[in-house]
Amino acid sequence: MRFVCLLLLVLTVVSCGGGEGAKDGYPSFQDRLDAGATCEELFGIRNAVDPKSPLIERMNQDLRAIGCYSVSSVRTDQKTQSNGAGPGAASPANSASFTVQEYRIYREVIDTPMDVAESKALESVARKYGVSVDEARKSVNAVQEALSSNNWFGTPESEIRRATDWKDAAR
């Protein structure tokens, strides 16, 4: 009887997260991703997984593939577009682009201290650039999508040079 109780205890600990618990998060994440969950919900699931888990990078790729770059992003559902290759697949033509102003809006939001809510950062930047909060959010998402889909991440100096109107702004 003791052996059976010990075996049940060991199986319970392993199945409740004592060993491979991080793997339990991905099927839940994938189910919600496939069901059309919002970026906010998907980030919540991802954030509940051990940050050292190798699944985090896979979840991040899936999030980027559907346009979820932050909790407030709106899904673009690229995973169901033309090539049908699923989340994380490169689009046939990485044609995403952005302007210098969009990049500056993006950079100011990204560089806002972590203790400032994203909504407050967007409001402040929108006011500074004379755009609506929705336009500021769209700018941030557009730049993140372009940098990600084209593997253009780098220093701010190298990233802004990818703007479609960089030569005009550089004088």
Domain ranges of the chain: 20-91, 100-170
Q: Residue 122 and residue 126: Cα distance in Å, rounded?
A: 6
Q: Residue 163 and residue 31: Cα distance in Å, rounded?
A: 36
In Å, how far are 81, 90, 96, 105, 136 from 117, measured between CA atoms?
32, 31, 27, 16, 15
Question: pLDDT, tens digit, for every residue of 36-55?
Answer: 888 888 888 988 888 888 88
pTM exceeds 0.85, yes or no: no
Question: pLDDT, tens digit, for every residue of 71-115?
Answer: 777 787 654 333 333 433 333 344 578 999 999 999 999 999 989
Average pLDDT (109-122) is 91
At 87, list the tokens: 């989340």
Q: What is the mean pLDDT of the chain?
A: 75
